[in-house]
Amino acid sequence: MNTPLFIAKRYLFSKKSVNAINIISGISTLGVLVGSAALIIILSVFNGFEMLILNMYSAFTPEMRIEPAQGKSFVPDSLLDRTLKSDPRVLHYTEILQEKVLLRYGQNQYIAVLKGEAPNSMQSAISDSLINEGEYKLKDENTDYAVVGAGVQAYLGVSLERDDLLLSVYSPRKNAVNSINPAEEFNVRTIMPVGVVVAQPQFDNVVIVPISFAREVLGEYEKISAIEIDLKPGVDQSSFKKELTRLVGNDFLVKDRAQQNPTLYKVLNSEKWAIFFILTFVLIIAIFNIIGSLTMLVIDKKKDIAVLKSLGAGYSFIKNIFFAEGMFISLFGCIIGMSLGLAFCILQRRFGLIKMEGAELVTSVFPVEIKVLDFALVFLTVTLISLIASFVSSRLSVKGEEQLS
Per-residue model confidence as pLDDT tens digits over 205-243: 999 999 999 999 999 999 999 999 989 989 999 999 999
Q: Which helix (H) or strand (E) holds 320?
A: helix 315-351
Residue 394 confidence (pLDDT): 77
**Alpha helices in 157-261, H assignment, sequence order:** 211-218, 237-248, 257-260
Do residue 132 and residue 239 come from a single domain? yes
Do residue 212 and residue 92 come from a single domain? yes
Residue 177 confidence (pLDDT): 61
Of 239, 257, 275, which residue is a domain's last?
257
Residue 23 confidence (pLDDT): 74
Residue 134 confidence (pLDDT): 87
Do residue 279 and residue 212 come from a single domain? no
Residue 359 confidence (pLDDT): 45
Residue 404 confidence (pLDDT): 46
**207 backbone dihedrals φ, ψ, rounded to 5°:** -120, 115
Residue 125 confidence (pLDDT): 46
Residue 257 confidence (pLDDT): 85
Number of structural domains the chain divides into: 2
Range of the domain at 370: 3-57+265-404
Is residue 303 within 8 A of residue 404, CB to CB? The reply is no
Helix/strand/coil (H/E/C) assignment for every residue in 68-120: ECCCCCECCCHHHHHHHHHCCCEEEEEEEEEEEEEEEECCEEEEEEEEEECCC
Residue 19 confidence (pLDDT): 60
Do residue 98 and residue 232 come from a single domain? yes
Do residue 252 and residue 314 come from a single domain? no
Do residue 350 and residue 367 come from a single domain? yes
Residue 399 confidence (pLDDT): 63
Is residue 96 within 8 A of residue 226, CB to CB? The reply is yes
Do residue 217 and residue 351 come from a single domain? no
Q: Give SS3 for 347.
A: helix
Do residue 51 and residue 88 come from a single domain? no
Of 212, 234, 257, which residue is a domain's last?
257
Low-confidence stretches of the chain (pLDDT < 50) are 122-126, 359, 404
Do residue 23 and residue 156 come from a single domain? no
Residue-wise pLDDT for 14-44, tens only, equals: 665 556 667 777 788 888 999 999 999 999 9
Cβ contacts of residue 334 below 8 Å, gap of 6+?
A: 32, 33, 36, 378, 379, 382, 383, 386
Q: What is the pTM of this model?
A: 0.73
The closest of 90, 106, 346 to 241, measured between CA atoms, is: 90
Task: Give Rg (Cα) of the chain.
Answer: 32
